Copies of this chain bind each other. A is one copy, B any other.
């Protein structure tokens, strides 16, 4: 099996290292033929090239492995690969979540297969375990800590009492956070992963922008202090539930009870769990990012393609997000308390309150109306 590798950054170089090492029986006969880079000065590997067409049109290349990131040209390359009946493996959650419906359709029509394990949970074999569980069980719900950057920041704030900005700077200096951290701290990254997880757990392909998503940009040490005092630990959680045929999904900070094992996942680790009909609650913990763990997930997809492993259970179809029936209690801190009259059950201080059990859609409509750029919102119970 000959691969065309697109991108030679953190993940791409890890893929190259694992496959070139040929450490196991399963890696035998898997070879990287060409590696797309922006500039030939990125290394002195004779397989480097700068022309994507050269790779896409190479009849000896069976599988395209995309680790470039960004929407384009990754999306155009994915579409072209699948339209040619070739298989496509990607670690690009943003591109894949955004164009999931189109790419699945191309896969079904032309027979090329898609691997996207590395898009969710880094090295954690999450999508693999979802498919494995579904050989027997219907999955009713999933939830998880899916972003290492924000978990690092939240864990640090919880452990040290530091403010958000301080922990963000620390995460940036360690390479855990980008210079422009919006994708992580505003919840977009978790939204892509929640979207992809819903497709794998429930066959329900939603558009990412339909999933209400709130991040941690506005969190303050005093929110963490309130959590502590109430035996809670805050985590940024992506979750999905299939209820009476409707896909419920959201991304937001959640005050997990400290008896919940997920609340204890610290530093930049991820943990994702599912509920299966006979399996019950099962959780998977590991490195949510990093060169070799993420590359490990990419290579697992490649081995599945080589071994022609398929999962009969999966028949994804387009689906809308429908949170109409979701109710919960929420913690809101805002300068515009007046916008929330009728939703305030208990005032914590002049700018912070708890709701009673209310409709999530109703609360989010009030949040929208309040239009407060500094508002902080978290789920307390559901």
Cross-chain contact of A293 among B14, B135, B279, B285 (Cβ < 8 A): B279
Is A186 engaged at the interface, CB distance under 8 Å to the other chain? no
In this assembly, does A191 line the interface, its C-beta being within 8 Å of a C-beta of chain B?
A: no
Per-position 1/0 for A106-144, Cβ under 8 A of B: 000000000000000001110011001111111000000
Which chain B residues lie closer than 8 Å to A280 at the CB level? 123, 286-287, 290, 292-293
Interchain CA distance A282-B123 in the complex, whole Å: 8
User: Is the CB–CB distance between A281 and B276 below 8 Å?
Assistant: no
Q: Which of A266, A269, A280 has the most CB of B within 10 A?
A: A280
Residue A278 interfacial (CB < 8 Å):
yes
A residues 191-238 touching B (CB-CB < 8 Å): none
**A269 and B260 alpha carbons, distance in the complex (Å):** 12
Number of interface residues of A (CB under 8 A): 51
Q: Are A124 and B282 in contact (CB under 8 A)?
A: yes
Indicate whether A83 reaches chain B with its CB closer than 8 angstroms. Answer: no
8 Å CB contacts to B: which residues of A280-327?
A: 280-287, 290, 292-293, 295-296, 299-300, 303, 309, 312-313
- Partner pick for A312 among B25, B132, B279, CB 8 A cutoff: B25
Any B CB within 8 A of the CB of A26: yes
Is A23 at the interface (CB under 8 A from chain B)? yes
Q: Is the CB of B135 within 8 A of A303?
A: yes
Find out whether the CB atom of B132 lies under 8 angstroms from the CB atom of A300. yes
Q: How far is the CA of A147 from the CA of B290 in the complex (A)?
A: 32
- Contact status B286-A282, CB under 8 Å: yes
Residue of B14, B125, B279, B293 near A129 (CB, 8 A) is B125
A-B contact pairs, 28 of them (CB 8 A): A14-B278, A18-B278, A23-B137, A24-B135, A24-B136, A24-B137, A24-B313, A26-B136, A26-B312, A26-B313, A124-B282, A136-B296, A137-B296, A261-B264, A261-B266, A261-B269, A261-B271, A263-B264, A278-B293, A278-B296, A279-B286, A279-B293, A280-B287, A280-B290, A281-B287, A283-B284, A284-B284, A309-B309
Further contacts, 14 of them, CB under 8 A, given A27-B135, A279-B287, A309-B309: A24-B134, A25-B313, A26-B135, A125-B129, A125-B132, A128-B132, A136-B300, A259-B266, A261-B265, A279-B293, A280-B287, A282-B286, A282-B287, A283-B284
